[in-house]
Amino acid sequence: MALPTLKSRTILGIILLIILFGLGYFFTTPQWHKYQAAKAQLKMTEDQNAQLTQTLSHVQAFLDSFRSHQQEAAIAGLALPVEDPDYANFVSSIGDLSAASGIAIENLSVNSNLGTGEELATNSIQVQRISFAANGSYPSFKDFMLRLENHLRLVDIEKINLSSDDSGKAQFDVILKTYYQK
């Protein structure tokens, strides 16, 4: 009888092991799937975090570049003012340039193309005519024109009339065009 008891206990033990493995399988399989899903979610979150970190570094680089170019934009704004013709600074600059060249400026007038009754388009370039008379020698006037040409503000010379008196002093009647963005 000892033999059947050992045999039946072995079979019972094997059945018990199979039942335990079966129960373990049915209880751990859902947890395993949850673990795999959480692992995949973690991987996706880490990838998104890496992408956001890279995007943040690109945005930071753009902002650094933008900040470094703000001064250049301010200088460009002086060359072609936006919304305001900035007559005061330009007339002051003409006075400074003429004084540096030894030219006397008279009868300075600013003529804009405003008042034509036309609707001005946004971001359009508007022309401002500035006329004046300059008195001085030809070399001084030439120096003044070179300084004006190298000035930051965009300026086109439209017309120059030259006349001289008996003493050799020359008078230059000048019409310039300058621009601003409306």
**Domain of 129, in residue numbers:** 87-181
Q: Are residues 56 and 119 in the same domain?
A: no
Choose one of 34, 51, 79: the last residue of a domain. Answer: 79
pLDDT at 21: 85
Q: Are 119 and 83 in contact (CB under 8 A)?
A: no
Q: Are residues 114 and 62 in the same domain?
A: no
Q: Are residues 152 and 92 in the same domain?
A: yes
Choose one of 79, 98, 131: the last residue of a domain. Answer: 79
Q: Are residues 50 and 109 in the same domain?
A: no
Distance of alpha carbon 85 from alpha carbon 106, whole angstroms:
21
Whether 162 is covered by a domain: the verdict is yes
pTM greater than 0.75: no
Cα end-to-end span (Å), the chain: 112
Over the chain (182 residues), the average pLDDT of each successive run of 10 is 71 88 85 90 94 94 86 66 71 87 88 58 79 88 88 84 81 87 76
Q: Are residues 167 and 92 in the same domain?
A: yes
Q: Are 97 and 144 in contact (CB under 8 A)?
A: yes
Distance of alpha carbon 107 from alpha carbon 66, whole angstroms:
43
Q: How far is CA 125 from CA 65, 114, 137, 177, 180, in A?
A: 27, 12, 35, 12, 6
Q: Are residues 67 and 143 in the same domain?
A: no
Split into its structural domains, the chain has a count of 2
pLDDT at 115: 47
Q: Are residues 95 and 174 in the same domain?
A: yes
Q: Are residues 130 and 146 in the same domain?
A: yes
Q: Are residues 124 and 155 in the same domain?
A: yes
Q: Are residues 97 and 152 in the same domain?
A: yes
Whether 101 is covered by a domain: the verdict is yes
pLDDT at 79: 62
Q: Are residues 112 and 140 in the same domain?
A: yes
